[in-house]
């Protein structure tokens, strides 16, 4: 998006959307500078190569895959899946988080697929009241780590789960999908036999 396109888009937002947009990009800026309590998923340069990665403080973790689902009032507003072989230029999401001193995690989400007019701020105590009820699920994984964020958009904040990967996962397989494939669930049915 060029500066002129951004300016035109920004002028068309209402005041609440402008406020959320300003806060969202302020979080992204703080995360890009390595500020504590801020994390950002986006395209960054690692050893001269553009990669999709999580940046949190000085820590940068490149991803092999990513999936996100955002529901509004119970219906899917947006969902996306991305794998490294798709190329960084096709990564569809801007996602930033802020962790408050209380431990609550708020997130800002903006999907570049036309379904969203502006970023949405979720789980932010006091500052932002969402315009609708949102549920979010974000899953990103790399070679060594995986990350899950889940929340219902209320002021309680989001839940984040970090997990360590080891062993032979394969280059791009989603570790959660692989885990589910390997789990064995036996459905027990009891059929009654009538011997009359």
pLDDT reading at 46 higher than 60: yes
- pLDDT at res. 55: 92
Average pLDDT of the residues of the chain: 82
- pLDDT at res. 130: 66
Tokens of 150: 């889940």
- pLDDT at res. 190: 46
Q: Coil, helix or strand for 182?
A: helix
Least confident of 51-65, 98-112, 117-131: 117-131
Q: What is d(CA 142, CA 129) in angstroms, rounded to the nearest whole number?
A: 33
- pLDDT at res. 187: 46
- pLDDT at res. 191: 45
Kindly report, residue by residue over 22-34, the tens digit of the pLDDT.
Answer: 999 999 999 999 9
Reported residue count of the chain is: 196
Q: Coil, helix or strand for 20?
A: helix
Report if pTM > 0.75: yes
């Amino acid at each position: 998006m060029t500066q002129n396109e951004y300016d035109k888009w920004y002028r068309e937002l209402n005041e609440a959307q402008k406020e959320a947009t300003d806060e969202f990009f302020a979080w992204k800026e703080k995360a890009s500078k390595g500020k504590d309590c801020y994390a950002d998923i986006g395209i960054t340069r690692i050893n001269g190569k553009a990669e999709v990665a999580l940046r949190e403080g000085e820590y940068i973790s490149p991803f092999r895959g990513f999936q996100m689902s955002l529901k509004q009032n119970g219906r899917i507003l947006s969902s996306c899946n991305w794998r490294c072989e798709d190329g960084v230029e096709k990564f569809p999401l801007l996602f930033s988080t802020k962790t408050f001193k209380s431990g609550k995690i708020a997130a800002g989400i903006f999907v570049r697929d036309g379904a969203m007019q502006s970023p949405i701020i979720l789980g932010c105590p006091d500052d932002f009241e969402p315009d609708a009820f949102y549920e979010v699920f974000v899953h990103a994984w790399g070679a060594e780590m995986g990350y899950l964020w889940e929340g219902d958009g209320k002021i309680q904040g989001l839940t984040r789960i970090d997990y360590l990967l080891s062993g032979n996962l394969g280059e791009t397989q989603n570790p959660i999908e692989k885990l589910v494939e390997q789990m064995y669930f036996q459905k027990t049915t009891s059929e009654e036999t009538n011997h009359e």
